[in-house]
Every structure is written in structure tokens, then in C-alpha cells.
Amino acid sequence: MKNLKKYVFNTLRNLTSWLESFSATTILKLFRKATFFVSSYTIFSFVIITASCSGQNTNQSQDTAEEVITPVLYKNLKAEYVIAPNSFSSSANFNKYWRNFYPWGPDHNGTARMNEDNIKLEDGVLKLSANRITADEGFSLAKPHLKIAYHSGAISAIPTITISDSIPQIEVSGYFKAPSEKGTWPAFWLTATKGWPPEIDILEFKGSDLNWQNTFSYPKNILSKKIKMLRPAQGWHQYKVILKKLDVINISIEYFLDNRLTAIHKGVNYLNKPMWLIINLQMEGISGSPGPMQSEYFAKEIIVKKWRKTSI
């Protein structure tokens, strides 16, 4: 700091001596040229700053800027399953790891109300189906309180997911066939058990063939990677994240699609924050309306694996 002050002082002193060598008329001309330069620079700077700030907003045509992150590589870790890949193989296995509906109940932010009849297990595959209803069931109990127009399916994991000092790495993955037509809103995501955020969207289609990989951090910091998919409902695709401790408060989130790394985000203040894992087929809302009369969403081989420290 002292060196900086000395540098500024010497620069100003030299500038003063230099100006003293010019006449008043010459100095006035220099001042006018400098004023034009500063004004032009100010306008240019404003344009650049405005463009940079607009990049922080959620934008459907551009990905948000990502901070360059080098995740920590841990050693002496022991891997263990939190959710085994056969959790959909039987009702007994399902009940060991999963519950029906969202953790908070049957309603959320679309026009579908979750119903047990819309949740099925078939040959190791989870099938969530949505169908339009004619009965008047009122409005969703969750914001923005849309009128209920569908019955659909959602499940949430019983164990929560937390990155901590003792568990510095967790993998969450699964194979999905996800609908993408207007009015369908399938998701595979993590969200905070208390408050909000954190939120990590591993799979999210909102009425189009774009898969959104989103990281929400406090306050109002949103990172998004959007990937155009070719018929995501027709074939199985693997969606995955690997969460790693970065420092005393933050984590890194590595996003993968079909085992290809697509993005690395920072989860700000995510350390020691428990999260729920949810698979759901919501309808309409921000995915558009009217939605189809019915839709289906399939999942299999869901894995949650954690790595525990065995030594420092």
C-alpha cells in the first residue's frame, strides 16, 4: 500500500511539472482532447459493464458465465453406496431408499398434483405418468398456486445428501427417458432440506429439447448450462453430478451427460447443507401450456455414492 501511494504521488508531481512547461492556450487544448477521451471511455466502459452484468441473469439463449474451478483431488477415501443401483428392482428395495411424492407433499410449482397411482415399478424401471384430469381439485398448495389440471408422479430419497469434511465427495447419477414436449417438466434434482438454496438441477426439461443443468447459490446467483438433446424420450441417457468439497464453505459441482463432462459450477455456501434428491414429472408452469393429455417419464439405475475420509 505504501509503495502504491508513493507511485501515485511521484506520477502526479511529474505530471504537474510537465504541464508547467506549456502555455495556458496549449493546456486548454489538451484539456478538451482529454475530456473527449474520458467521455468516450466512460461510454465504452458502460457498454462493457452492462453486457457483463446481463450475463448474470437467467437467459434462455445463452449459458451463464462460469468461474474456472479446479476441484480438489482427494486420497484415502472409502466409497460406499447411499442408494444402490437396484433400488427399483422390488417394492422392498424401493421402500428402503425412497418415499412417494415430494418431501413436503404432493404439490409443487406446476399444475400437476402427485398421485400414488401414477408411480409404477416395472422390471427395474421407475415409471412416472401424468394424465389430465377433469375433476376440480382447486389450486396447488405451493407457489405460484396454479390450478390443478393433472395427476402425476414424484418420488424423493429417504437419505439426504451432504458434502462435509468427513464426506468430501458424492456422486449422483441415473439413466432416464425424459419427455420434452410443450407442457412437460421432468426433473432429477437436489434441493435444500432447510431454506433455499442450495439447489442442483441434474436433469430438467422445460417444454423443449434443452436440458438445463443449474446451480443456485445465495444470493440470487444462478449458473446454467443448457444442452440440446435429440429425442431425449426415445433412448436412455445418463445424467450425473459429482460433488466435491472445495474449501471451508464451498463445493464444486461437476455435471456430466452420457459420461461426458459438460460444466463445473461452484456451490457457494453448500458445505454441510443437507439436500433432498427428487425425481418428478411436473406439468405446465414454466414449461408452457396447454400440455399434452398424458406423458411418461422413465428412470433406472439411480446411484448415490459417497466417499468417506479414512485418514488425513
Q: State pTM to two decimals.
A: 0.79
pLDDT of residue 82: 98
pLDDT of residue 74: 76
Which three cell numbers mark 78?
Answer: 472409502
State yes or no: pLDDT of 255 exceeds 90: yes
Could you give all domains of the chain from N- to C-terminal order, each with its CATH number?
Answer: 2-54 (no CATH), 77-309 (2.60.120.200)
Find the distance separating the first CA and the last CA of the chain, reported in whole Å.
Answer: 38
- Exposure of 200 by Cβ count < 10 A (0-12 exposed, 13-18 middle, 19+ buried)? buried
Peptide bond preceding 219: is omega within 30 degrees of 0, i.e. cis?
yes
Distance CA(139)–CA(303), nearest Å, equals 34
pLDDT of residue 253: 98
What percentage of the chain exceeds 90 in pLDDT? 73
Catalytic, out of 66, 67, 137, 204: 204
Question: Which residues on neighbouring strands pair with residue 121, listed in sequence order?
Answer: 126
> Catalytic: 181?
no
> Catalytic: 199?
yes
Distance CA(34)–CA(15), nearest Å, equals 14
Q: What is the pLDDT of residues 198-251, one digit of tens each?
A: 999 999 999 999 999 999 998 678 999 999 999 999 999 999 999 999 999 999
Catalytic, out of 66, 181, 199, 254: 199
State yes or no: pLDDT of 34 exceeds 50: no
